[in-house]
Structure 1
Amino acid sequence: MIDIKDLKKSFGSNHVLNGVNLSVNRGDIVAIIGSSGSGKSTLVRCIAGLEKPDTGQILLNGEEYLDDGKGVGKIGMVFQNFNLFPHYTARENITKPLTIVKKMEASAADEIAEKLLRKVKLENAANQYPATLSGGQKQRLAIARSLAMEPEIIVFDEPTSSLDPSLAHEVFQTIKELAAEGQTMLIVTHQINAIKNFATRVVFLNDGIIEVDGTCGEVFENPTNENLKDFLQMVEFDDL
């Protein structure tokens, strides 16, 4: 579904991605882990078209999609800090992109919004503004807004890092439900215990390259890569 070939990205003298190669199949739930500064966010922002790589290729279903508009709506992005429209209600956060970007009739957009708000258990908050919602509710609304565009792939960049454990659990429950439905997803996260239950693959990024790519069992239960071992020990220590 997505093929990434020798992707490189620098910011000035800081080489963030140093030749990333990754293939994602339809239905994959790929957890991307690694220390801060390893290139995780830059990688998913390149995939979502928010950063332009210096060199390399990103193919969606065998075609370049970043420069010709073919990827519009096909890659959904859910951000760490929600990125909701503060002056729109929860419903309008979903309907406005549909009517403006997809040129959809308002009545059809409203139907989709109602369906998705029920899906993420926010039907009773349809007329509330983001400022009145909890962090978990905001992130679930952001997921609903992404789903409204019917993306082939949803990319999550640390979706629960700003939430306390109970609210993070709400968000991961929604993500798990999407996984059960077969939604293809890439998830940058430090929440190892949360993704163990449903990720089909785990990718360990270190110094801008993928050093490990395997199942949860291969990555977490008997790691052989020394950098991965060090990272997992730090994560375990942070969770104590």
Structure 2
Amino acid sequence: MGELIKINNLSKSFDEIKVLESLNMQVESGEVVAIIGASGSGKSTLVRCIAGLEPVSGGEILLHDTAVVNTASTNGKIGMVFQNFNLFPHYTVGKNITMPLKTILKMSDDLAIAKAKALLDKVHILDKFDQYPNNLSGGQKQRVAIARALALEPEIIIFDEPTSSLDPELAHEVFETISDLAKEGQTMLIVTHQINAIRRFATRIVFLNQGKIEVEGAPDYIFNQVDHPNLHQFLKQVDFEDL
């Protein structure tokens, strides 16, 4: 274990609208941190800032004590999986994964293909190597996106609502893959409303409300022990099974 990310007094505004305010947070190696909260609470903005996709308005984000100011400053140590997959539709599944391996890591064709196949096997869709994304289900597309994120061997993978556009059965497939990564010790940040899924493998839950962290802790503390009205109201709204 060791600290990978440290966030100090982070703030983020769009024009005059404050989205994040005086936010402090740390992420240790091997943690699976689920970020929950109502729509508009700042969850996606937070992880986009961590990934270097959004400039911060104030404070700092440190990755191994180096400031994150853009995607280049992460040095490939942070991978991102988006809710809309972001696959190249004109590339096959295999090429979606081999292209970054060849262009960024300068791998040979043979090595890139071998690694892409190993990653697709890992997420249980090796048979889709020569298919195009349009021929896949939503769950399969998201597993391709996970394999692509893993290809560059990031220290941290960020999932921004990875199952929000999927039916429950397909969402289950994706969370099974994420759960497998958690068992392997992959450090992850997961923004999601699928509370009943992430409670099984998250090591820590962070509840955001109006751009601030109001409660955080282990799943048992968050879901069974803490008495916090805003958190309980949110859990009722997302049909958390224990409330």
- What TM-score, normalized by structure 1, do the two folds share? 0.96
What is the aligned counterpart of 1:135 among 138, 146, 157?
Answer: 138
**Paired amino acid for 1:8:** S
Cα displacement (A) at 1:111: 1.0
The yes-or-no answer on 1:17 pairing with 2:20 is yes
2:31 maps to: 28
Tell me how far apart the structure 1 counterparts of residues 56 and 125 of structure 2 sit (CA, whole Å): 37
Tell me how far apart the structure 1 counterparts of residues 146 and 125 of structure 2 sit (CA, whole Å): 11
Give the secondary structure class of the aligned counterpart of 1:236: coil
Tell me how far apart the structure 1 counterparts of residues 205 and 177 of structure 2 sit (CA, whole Å): 19
1:210 maps to: 213
Contact kept, 8 Å, 1:84 with 1:130, in 2: the verdict is yes
Give the secondary structure class of the aligned counterpart of 2:238: helix
Cα displacement (A) at 1:68: 8.8
Give the secondary structure class of the aligned counterpart of 1:173: helix
1:47 maps to: 50
Contact kept, 8 Å, 1:32 with 1:187, in 2: the verdict is yes
Task: Extract unaligned runs of 5+ from structure 1.
Answer: none
Task: Extract unaligned runs of 5+ from structure 2.
Answer: none
Inter-CA distance 170–108: structure 2 relative to 1 (3 Å threshold): same
**Paired amino acid for 1:110:** I
The yes-or-no answer on 1:232 pairing with 2:235 is yes
Contact kept, 8 Å, 1:80 with 1:161, in 2: the verdict is yes
Contact kept, 8 Å, 1:155 with 1:187, in 2: the verdict is yes
- 1:1-240 matches, within 5 Å, as 1-67=4-70, 69-236=72-239
Cα displacement (A) at 1:98: 1.0
Tell me how far apart the structure 2 counterparts of residues 127 and 43 of structure 1 sit (CA, whole Å): 36
Give the secondary structure class of the aligned counterpart of 1:15: strand
**Paired amino acid for 2:142:** Q
**Paired amino acid for 2:198:** I
Give the secondary structure class of the aligned counterpart of 1:5: strand
RMSD between aligned alpha carbons?
Answer: 1.6
**Paired amino acid for 1:159:** P
Tell me how far apart the structure 2 counterparts of residues 68 and 119 of structure 1 sit (CA, whole Å): 26
Cα displacement (A) at 1:237: 7.3
**Paired amino acid for 2:138:** G
Cα displacement (A) at 1:66: 2.9
Cα displacement (A) at 1:84: 0.5
Contact kept, 8 Å, 2:55 with 2:70, in 1: the verdict is no
Tell me how far apart the structure 1 counterparts of residues 224 and 94 of structure 2 sit (CA, whole Å): 43
- Corresponding pairs, count: 240
Q: Deviations over 1:81-117 (max 9, x none)?
A: 0000111100000000111122221111111101001
Identity among equivalent positions (%) equals: 60
Tell me how far apart the structure 1 counterparts of residues 92 and 17 of structure 2 sit (CA, whole Å): 40
Give the secondary structure class of the aligned counterpart of 2:52: coil
Contact kept, 8 Å, 1:223 with 1:229, in 2: the verdict is no
Tell me how far apart the structure 2 counterparts of residues 134 and 238 of structure 1 sit (CA, whole Å): 28
Inter-CA distance 237–27: structure 2 relative to 1 (3 Å threshold): closer
Cα displacement (A) at 1:20: 1.2
Tell me how far apart the structure 2 counterparts of residues 67 and 148 of structure 1 sit (CA, whole Å): 20
Contact kept, 8 Å, 2:50 with 2:68, in 1: the verdict is no
Cα displacement (A) at 1:72: 2.6
